[in-house]
Structure 1
Amino acid sequence: QDAFFKKGMNIRKQGNDLRKNEIAVYCFTKIDAKTIAVLASCGKEKVKVCSKLKTAILATGDELIPINEKPLDDKLRVSNIYSLYAAMKEMNHMVINLGFVNDDKKIITEKIKAALSLNIDLLITTGGVSVGKYDFLKEVFEEQGVKEKFWKVNIKPGKPIYFGSYEKDERRILVFGLPGNPVSSLVNFYVFIKPAIEFLFKQNEWKIVTATLQNDLKKKDGKRHYLRGILFEENGEWKVTADFSQSSGNLVEMSRANCLIEIEEDKLNPKKGERVKCILI
């Protein structure tokens, strides 16, 4: 019976999981249940953490109505502020819903001025950043002291995105002006805002996989396209299908997608069987 036992069996020696002076938890590690266990075992009752971002969201557009109202032919329920609010909360940040306003420059100016006076880190707007008669936001941003970093990108959907920075009294607010189309604003969030936030917190959660396309796609221009897709694994291989509407106003198909298929500028009409990049959303 003694043969089954050896000296030192099932005994964990002190320090066998971590050597002296070895780092247990690195800076900018996202604290979860596993990390808390390590911190507790190291006797760390308190640790310094990064503050959550404070974000304000504002929608603009004469066509917008509250979600509890029935829309007439020329009206739309305001969905953007709720989708972007939820997207920020999924990243565990704080959000202020500033509601929505009509395409009235005076009212928009008052709203933006008030928003920039808040104790926030990020301001996200939707609508009013293109070149239409009632697209006032870019002009208002400049008048309120926001320094433009870029405006418009060669992608579809979501081309008329605006990005700028507002600095006053040692405060900096990053400003993103997104297009009003519901799908376009969410694509802009996943392609630009989410990676920017992860960069600020030194995270790397932008997951990209390569998958085999299950249907032909139409792409005739020189823009970079982000198509909604359904990614799945079959026999150990990633596959993706996008055999449904890609309209920038189709929220139903967007809600069913679990990835964005990235088709680069010089690629035209990808065919079934080709390998494509997919951004998990």
Structure 2
Amino acid sequence: MEAFNLTSSSTPTFILNGIPGLEAAHIWISIPFSMFYIISLLGNFMVLFVVSKEQTLHKPMYLLLCMLALTEIGGSTCIVPKALCIFWFDFKSITMDGCLTQMFFLSVFAAMHSAILVTMAFDRYVAICYPLRYGTILTNTRIAKLGLVGLIRAVLLVLPEPLLLRRLPFCAYRVIPHTYCEHNAVVKMSCGDTRINRTYGLVMPLVIIGLDLTLIGLSYGLIITAVLRISSKKAHRKALNTCTAHICVMMISYTPILFSTLTYSFGQGIAAHVHILLANLYCLVPPMLNPIIYGVKTKELRDKVGKYICRM
């Protein structure tokens, strides 16, 4: 009844309903949610700690890993604490400002994450195609500037989403069938004309992902061309092995968000709880797995992490 008593005031309050159809299982669902989140925090903070402590890891590749870790900590922290409050304590209400803030930062971290993956592909391209000039082409300062460009791009592209939502009137019934303020779910709560919002909500992520995947594909096309010029098969394997971790992270990162975006827009026949679970898995699984992937596939980082673990 709480949702029906909400009025269409200038500062509306929303109700986040968790995972529709699975309310009785919220406590059980919270167990993997909290475990994934804790593992994600431990893994990413370990990467940040080890890279900051080890002077030998103060290189462009590891600076990019730290940027990736920060976006993953930020993205998962945007949604998991509120989701656990819903699952554990039934704290479902969220103000309009809180909802738009959560949506903004979640989208910024996602766009920034994608930009970092592009920079990582460029890093691999330079390392393989211009190994002797790697240190002069990619410096820590240049990587930091590329990270700043990615952040500015993310903010400029994402900012219209909450601003466009701000102008909409919202109905008295404002129950969002989600664990967090996902853009399309919030748009559906409006009584006004939402065509611009729905169009921007679909086009913006597809443009970001499409552009970034094109740049990544171009980088790997040049990498493959360079590798094929090498006559030694051993050198082939060594060169391509340096890209394995990045390729795995890309697949884990882009597949869920593409599927989630497209199913929200075109998958009307898919059950609501499947939409919600997919959207949450995108924010939980990549941040948990990415530090593990880089820890396993990058010997230098693996050795340094092992050294600190042995000291504990």
TM-score by length of 1: 0.23
Higher-RCO chain (CA-CA 8 Å, sequence separation at least 6): 2
Find the structure with the greater CA-based Rg: 1
Higher normalized helix content (fraction of residues): 2
Higher normalized strand content (fraction of residues): 1
TM-score by length of 2: 0.22
